[in-house]
């Protein structure tokens, strides 16, 4: 594993992605409610650049004829086919066995580092 500097915490807006390509690995960096996440820019469905999709919410389970919207600004939606992933754990909402590949993020004195495989 190797540690790579990717910027300062102040450089990346909350709920917006910043896409990086380091050592042949492309990933998006996100800040969600004060926590930082780095996800591979590859949708496991058909390989779309997932980090170019919107950060949004989703429709929650509800009774017939009810519409409940939640998880606002916590969902990453694939721009190709609309697959929805939880930004805090990378899981596909409809299948807990399908996840985005994640990379650890470290903060050191306001500087962001992502830990990538060698």
Give the separation between CA 59 and CA 51, rounded to whole angstroms.
20
- What mean pLDDT do residues 9-38 have? 92
Which pLDDT belongs to residue 55?
92
pLDDT of the residue at 81: 95
Rounded Cα–Cα distance for residues 118 and 111 (Å): 21
d(CA 92, CA 75): 10
Q: Is the per-residue pLDDT at 15 higher than 80?
A: no
The structural domain count of the chain equals 1
Give the integer Cα–Cα distance in Å for 98 and 19: 22
Tokens read off for 101? 């590949």
- Predicted confidence (pLDDT) per residue in 49-94, tens digit: 999 999 999 999 889 899 998 989 899 999 999 999 999 999 999 9
Element spanning 98, H or E? strand 95-99
Quick one: tokens of 26? 């492309």
Domain region containing 96? 2-116
């Amino acid at each position: 594993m190797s540690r790579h500097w990717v910027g300062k915490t102040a450089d990346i807006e909350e709920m917006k992605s910043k896409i990086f390509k380091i050592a042949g690995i492309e990933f998006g960096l996100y800040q969600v409610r004060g926590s930082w996440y780095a996800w591979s820019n590859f949708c496991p469905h058909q390989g779309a650049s997932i980090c170019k999709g919107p950060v949004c919410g989703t429709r929650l389970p509800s009774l017939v004829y009810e519409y409940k919207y939640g998880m606002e600004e916590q969902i990453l939606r694939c721009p190709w086919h609309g697959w929805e992933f939880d930004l805090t754990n990378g899981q596909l909402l409809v299948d807990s066995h399908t996840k985005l590949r994640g990379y650890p993020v470290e903060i050191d004195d306001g500087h962001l580092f992502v830990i990538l495989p060698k």
